[in-house]
Amino acid sequence: MLELEILKTFGDVDTESSFKKITTIRIGGKIKYLISPHTFEDLKNLLAYLKEKNAIFKVVGRGSNILASDKDYDGVVIRLNKLDNCYFQDEYAICEAGLSAVRLSTLAMNNGLSGIEFMSGIPGSMGGLVYMNAGAYKSEIKDVLDSVFVLKDNELVWLDASECDMSYRHSIFMENKDWIIIGCKLKLNKGVKEEIKELINDRLNRRKETQPINFPSCGSCFKNPENNFVWKLIDGIGLRGYRLNDIQVSEKHPNFIINNGNGKSEEFLSITNKIKKEVKEKYDIDLNLEVEIFEW
Ligand SMILES: Cc1cc2nc3c(=O)[nH]c(=O)nc-3n(C[C@H](O)[C@H](O)[C@H](O)COP(=O)(O)OP(=O)(O)OC[C@H]3O[C@@H](n4cnc5c(N)ncnc54)[C@H](O)[C@@H]3O)c2cc1C
125 versus 155: the higher-pLDDT residue is 125
- CA-to-CA distance for 1 and 256, rounded, in angstroms? 40
Of 31, 62, 79, the last residue of a domain is 79
With 90 as the cut, is the pLDDT of residue 143 above it? Answer: yes
Q: Given ligand 1 and candidates 62, 131, 133, 252, which is best to mutate, with the most ligand atoms within 8 Å of its CB? A: 131
- Do 12 and 119 belong to one domain? no
Distance 284 CA to ligand 1 centre (A): 29
Q: Tell me, yes or no, whether 27 lies in a domain.
A: yes
Tell me how far the alpha carbon of residue 94 is from its chain's centroid: 19
Residue type, 248: Q
Domain of 27: which CATH number?
3.30.43.10
Q: Tell me, yes or no, whether 218 lies in a domain.
A: no
Question: Would you state the pLDDT for residue 225?
Answer: 96
Which atom of ligand 1 has the smallest separation from the CA of 131?
A: 34
Q: Tell me, yes or no, whether 155 lies in a domain.
A: yes
Question: Would you state the pLDDT for residue 34?
Answer: 98
Catalytic residue numbers, as ranges: 169, 220, 290
Please give the torsion angle defined by the CA atoms of residues 63, 69, 71 and 77, in that order, rounded to the nearest 10 degrees.
Answer: -30
- Do 22 and 116 belong to one domain? no
> Residue 114 — very low, low, confident or very high, per pLDDT cuts 50/70/90?
very high
Q: Tell me, yes or no, whether 2 lies in a domain.
A: no
Number of domains in the chain: 3
Beta pairing class for 73-79 and 57-60:
parallel
Residue range 46-85, pLDDT digits in tens: 999 999 999 999 999 999 999 999 999 999 999 999 999 9
Domain of 276: which CATH number?
3.90.78.10
With 90 as the cut, is the pLDDT of residue 293 above it? Answer: yes
- Do 60 and 99 belong to one domain? no
- CA-to-CA distance for 286 and 264, rounded, in angstroms? 24
SS3 186: strand
Please state whether the predicted TM-score (pTM) of the whole model is above 0.95: yes
The stretch 175-181 carries a mean pLDDT of 96
Of 79, 97, 113, the last residue of a domain is 79
- Do 266 and 164 belong to one domain? no
- Do 98 and 63 belong to one domain? no
- CA-to-CA distance for 234 and 220, rounded, in angstroms? 12
- Do 189 and 114 belong to one domain? yes
SS3 244: strand
Q: Tell me, yes or no, whether 243 lies in a domain.
A: yes
Domain of 162: which CATH number?
3.30.465.10
- CA-to-CA distance for 137 and 193, rounded, in angstroms? 20
- Do 70 and 126 belong to one domain? no
Which atom of ligand 1 has the smallest separation from the CA of 23?
A: 29
- CA-to-CA distance for 134 and 152, rounded, in angstroms? 22
- Do 32 and 52 belong to one domain? yes
- Do 135 and 200 belong to one domain? yes
- Do 100 and 151 belong to one domain? yes
Q: 44: how many CB neighbours lie within 10 A of its CB? A: 17
- CA-to-CA distance for 289 and 127, rounded, in angstroms? 20
Query: Which residue has a Cα nearest atom 4 of ligand 1?
Result: 219
With 90 as the cut, is the pLDDT of residue 146 above it? Answer: yes
Q: Given ligand 1 and candidates 40, 59, 64, 215, which is best to mutate, with the most ligand atoms within 8 Å of its CB? A: 64
Q: Tell me, yes or no, whether 171 lies in a domain.
A: yes
Q: Given ligand 1 and candidates 24, 35, 58, 60, which is best to mutate, with the most ligand atoms within 8 Å of its CB? A: 60
- CA-to-CA distance for 159 and 142, rounded, in angstroms? 13
With 90 as the cut, is the pLDDT of residue 206 above it? Answer: yes
Residue range 217-258, pLDDT digits in tens: 999 999 999 999 999 999 999 999 999 999 999 999 999 999
Which atom of ligand 1 has the smallest separation from the CA of 136?
A: 8
Domain containing 165 equals 86-210
Which atom of ligand 1 has the smallest separation from the CA of 65?
A: 29
Q: Tell me, yes or no, whether 20 lies in a domain.
A: yes
Q: Tell me, yes or no, whether 222 lies in a domain.
A: no
Burial track 231-242 (b if 16+ CB lie within 10 A, e otherwise):
bebbeebebbeb
- CA-to-CA distance for 197 and 226, rounded, in angstroms? 32
Q: CB within 6 Å of ligand 1 — which residues? A: 24, 58-66, 80, 97, 122-125, 127-129, 131-132, 134-136, 173, 180-181, 213, 217-219, 292
- CA-to-CA distance for 128 and 83, rounded, in angstroms? 13
Give the dihedral sign, CA 34/40/42/47: positive
With 90 as the cut, is the pLDDT of residue 154 above it? Answer: no
- Do 119 and 206 belong to one domain? yes
Instruction: Give me the helix-helix angle, 101-110 and 193-210, nearest 10°.
Output: 150
Of 79, 104, 124, the last residue of a domain is 79
Residue whose C-alpha is closest to residue 136's, from 28, 242, 255:
255
- Do 193 and 242 belong to one domain? no
CA atoms within 13 A on the CB side of 272: 24
